[in-house]
Amino acid sequence: MGWFDESRLDDERALAARDHLLRHLAESGARVRREVTAARESGAGAARAGDAGEVRPRAVVAAGPDSRLLRAVLEPWCPVPFVAWPGPGLPGWTGGLDLVVVLAPEGSDPGSASAVAEAVRRGCSVVVACPPASLVAEHAAGRWSTLLPTVTGDQLAVAVVVLEHLAALGLGPGTDAEEVAAALDDVAVACSPYRDLAVNPAKELAIGLADTTPLVWGGSTLSARAARRVAEAVRVATGRTVLPGDADHLLPVVEAARPRDVFADPVDAPGGAARPALLLLDDGADDPVVREDRGRLRAAAAAHDVRVEEVDASGPGDGRVARSELARYASLVLTGSYLAQYLAVGSVDG
């Protein structure tokens, strides 16, 4: 069994072992700016946006593994039916009246290439974000295809480019790329490895969740998506069990928590199972259902002595500035990604 050594979170040598990963996180805002600049300078889709905007598609189909993020942003706003299709191929009804959108940051996914090729074959309008010299780009050539060139391989940065393009077509809300980049910069500053435990929210979260099985909850559609991304980041970085889910799925886990034994060694928990802890991702959603679910989770945690940690997407610092949904989502995901790395830094093998 291993244990968590919080002193490693301020240890230069321990942090240096993950410098390349922490540096990658710190550059998240810069990648958004690079992608948006590259797309604008290429002029891809700019001339066609005005033409395509005159006739709305019958439906928008977001295909590929990153389609759910687009759905979370666009579905409440899109003036035509919107379908996320993360599986292979396309829905059987998709045809020449529809717009197919594919995010392929790496450009090497065979499933995305297959979906693009099928959309071109069926005569659909196609918007593809991928590297110009890639497998997906090769399959995107067609009369009604728009290629948005990508340069960073960053899923969120590429999504910002696509959302900005769809907004120009009147199919989505306005997307402020600089706002998203600034939100990421704020998190990178607040969670920097050079900021010590006392003032670093991600390091504080790592300490709070160190000896637990995190249960990650987000109430809104976007924060629920962020919860899955954060859980994935923690699993990849640490190999530990993490459970994202909605309130109905997480409540039974909280309510099944054993009474805390103050004399027990957390490293030697019964059966090797750590106690659960709630990680609540708050993106500022004020929906009554979200408030109700948050209240139920907090009440159950208090009744069963389960620790609760929270990530606030309103932004670090004293000034709370109203942010778009996408900027709040970006803030939650990046904070959770820093948390994952600090959990890995502090973990010591037994």
Residue 8 has pLDDT above 50, yes or no: yes
Report residue 258's pLDDT band, with 50, 70 and 90 as the boundaries: confident
Residue 250 has pLDDT above 80, yes or no: yes
30 or 284: whose pLDDT is higher? 30
Question: Residue 271: its pLDDT value, please?
Answer: 47
**3-29+179-348 is a CATH 3.60.150.10 domain:** no
Domain ranges of the chain: 3-29+179-348, 43-175
265 or 63: whose pLDDT is higher? 63
Report residue 350's pLDDT band, with 50, 70 and 90 as the boundaries: low
Q: Give the mean pLDDT of 193-207.
A: 95
Residue 269 has pLDDT above 70, yes or no: no
Residue 83 has pLDDT above 50, yes or no: yes
Question: Residue 322: its pLDDT value, please?
Answer: 58
Average pLDDT, the chain: 89
- Give the predicted TM-score (pTM) of the model: 0.91
Q: Give the mean pLDDT of 120-140.
A: 93
Own/partner contacts of 90-94, CB < 8 Å, gap of 24 or more, are 90/61, 90/63, 90/115, 90/118, 90/119, 90/122, 91/61, 94/59, 94/61, 94/119, 94/122, 94/124
Q: Give the mean pLDDT of 181-209.
A: 96
Dihedrals φ, ψ of 286, to 5°? -110, 25
Q: Could you tell me how many residues make up the chain?
A: 350
Report residue 43's pLDDT band, with 50, 70 and 90 as the boundaries: confident
- For the record, the structure tokens of 190 come out as 């607040």
**43-175 is a CATH 3.40.50.10490 domain:** yes
Question: Residue 233: its pLDDT value, please?
Answer: 97
Q: Give the mean pLDDT of 209-231.
A: 95
Residue 183 has pLDDT above 70, yes or no: yes
Q: Is 208 exposed, middle or buried (0-12, 13-18, 19+ CB in 10 A)?
A: middle
Residue 55 has pLDDT above 80, yes or no: no
340 or 323: whose pLDDT is higher? 340
Residue 47 has pLDDT above 50, yes or no: no
Q: Is 328 exposed, middle or buried (0-12, 13-18, 19+ CB in 10 A)?
A: buried
Q: Give the mean pLDDT of 94-111.
A: 93
322 or 318: whose pLDDT is higher? 322
Amino acid identity, position 4: F
Question: Residue 348: its pLDDT value, please?
Answer: 85
Residue 266 has pLDDT above 60, yes or no: no
Closest residue by Cα to residue 152 from 120, 179, 184, 121: 184
Q: What is the dihedral of CA 6, 12, 16, 19, to 10 degrees?
A: 80
Q: DSSP readout, 223-270?
A: HHHHHHHHHHHHHHHH----EE--HHHHHHHHHTPPPP-TTS-GGG-G
Question: Residue 235: its pLDDT value, please?
Answer: 97
Report residue 50's pLDDT band, with 50, 70 and 90 as the boundaries: very low
Do 3-29+179-348 and 43-175 come out as alike in CATH topology?
yes
Q: Give the mean pLDDT of 199-218.
A: 96
CB neighbour list of residue 4: distance below 8 Å, 6 or more residues apart: 206, 207, 210, 211, 343, 346, 347, 348
Q: Give the mean pLDDT of 49-69.
A: 76
Residue 263 has pLDDT above 70, yes or no: no
